[in-house]
Amino acid sequence: MNGIAFAASLVLFVGGIALFAYAFETPGFETAMFVAGIFAIVAAIAIPFHALKRT
């Protein structure tokens, strides 16, 4: 479970950064992609805090 959660949070974090980068190159969807990037990074940070057990 720890490895899966780590991989998911890493993919979400990198994907969120990519959404930030591509947000300014897509006409008409800038705001939606930027907000999706924010949500992806928030989810990437929330997974380790809430899903993983404390040891």
The residue-averaged pLDDT of 41-51 equals: 89
Whether the CB-CB separation of 37 and 20 falls below 8 Å is answered with: yes
Pairwise CA distance, residues 51 & 8, whole Å: 11
Specify the pLDDT at position 34: 95
With a threshold of 0.85, does the pTM exceed it?
Answer: no
Q: In this model, does residue 36 exceed pLDDT 90?
A: yes
Tens-digit pLDDT profile for residues 6-25: 899 999 999 999 999 999 89
Specify the pLDDT at position 2: 79
